[in-house]
Amino acid sequence: MLSSLAQAGFADAEHRFNAWFAGLDRGPQETPLTGCSAYAVVRALLGELSRHPWEPLADAAQTIALAARFGADRPMQAEDALAEEAIGRAITLMKQAGADDETPLPFAGLARLHALLRADPRFAPLERAVQIRSFGNRAVAIEQAAPRTPLWAVDAALGRLLTASGAWARALPCPGAVTAQTLQPQLWPGERAMLAARSLQRSVTRLAELVAQAPRRAALMREQLGHLRSSARAPQVWILLAGFAPLGLDQITWAFGISRRGTYAIGDALVAARMARRETVKGKVLLVAEEPGRDWQPASLDQATALPHAALAEFDAAMGEIDRLLAGSSGHP
């Protein structure tokens, strides 16, 4: 979501998001670069992801929507419909770009998608505005940044193209995979293909890092919270804290359907396990995720900890000797 807000032109989204999500501060600031409000972007994204065919993602989006306070006091506006239309149009283009793929590699479909986006008035890059300023007797033309088109909607729907080609099993969103740079009309085809592949690689790499992180976090929960009853909600709450944003006690009540007393019990369990801390922001208590020690690793995920101390000392000594030899020979040809 932060990536979508940044792409939409909200430069302060990362700084303001947590307090905004908790209903403690205003939303990210609209600028001449933004095409709609941050409220419209997050509502459209949560609405789309809540209907996602992959149940875990849909459940997560629905829980986040229940906990969110950033739109609680803001009625639906016309721009909300525009944001939803952007996602609908992006899905339509995915279907067109993914038709008749004969290979599991997504690059042919990606090239077709970029051609469709460049021809679509909703997503094609806008011209930069030029402002004329007078300085004494001289008129100076100052080129301004172009307003953003809603490529965040394309990122949200791109997984449909990857699954259509057989490259992916799940139509996951790909934050940052489609950029305005790859849609510039002056690019030659090979250059556009390289830029598109590079952007997709960066996006998929970030997703892969999250997947690699999941077993470690699952092991951490078993280690720290395994003594709780199977019906305990503390692990679910920590997943949302660690994966999305801090939560107030009222948000936990709304999102997980538990009593106020239950939220205190969850907070106590997570604080006792060193998996969360309490912070007071503008008079409101928030639970903030923590991990007990940055060097914590379960034995099954960190084989190095199984080495005896003597072996580690021997290894360190050998590496020190190599460093010494390299340093001694660095002055000779």
3-class SS letters over 267-304 = HHHHHHCCCEEEEEECCEEEEEECCCCCCCCCHHHCHH
pLDDT mean over 154-160: 96
pLDDT tens profile 29-56:
888 888 888 999 999 999 999 999 999 9
Specify the pLDDT at position 229.
83
CA distances from 226 to 53, 104, 229, 302 (A): 30, 41, 8, 20
Give the integer Cα–Cα distance in Å for 98 and 158: 10
pLDDT above 90 for 7: yes
pLDDT mean over 296-304: 41
Provide the phi-psi class of 70: left if phi over 0, else alpha when psi is between -120 and 50, else beta. Answer: alpha
Provide the phi-psi class of 101: left if phi over 0, else alpha when psi is between -120 and 50, else beta. Answer: beta
pLDDT mean over 267-294: 89
Q: Identify which of 5, 18, 65, 60 has the alpha carbon closest to the alpha carbon of residue 214.
A: 60
Specify the pLDDT at position 314.
53
Kindly report the number of other CB atoms within 10 A of residue 155's CB atom.
23
pLDDT tens profile 90-132:
999 999 998 766 677 888 899 999 999 999 999 998 765 555 6
Give the integer Cα–Cα distance in Å for 313 and 222: 31
Pairing state between β 276-281 and 247-248 = unpaired
Q: Identify which of 288, 193, 275, 276 has the alpha carbon closest to the alpha carbon of residue 244.
A: 288
More confident: 306 or 332: 332
Query: Do the Cβ atoms of 252 and 67 come closer than 8 Å?
Result: yes
DSSP string, 16-32: HHHHHHTTSSPPPPP-T
Token representation of residue 23: 């209903």
Question: Whole-model pTM?
Answer: 0.80
Please name the residues in contact with 35: beta carbons below 8 A apart, sequence gap of 6 or more.
Answer: 8, 9, 82, 147, 148, 149, 150
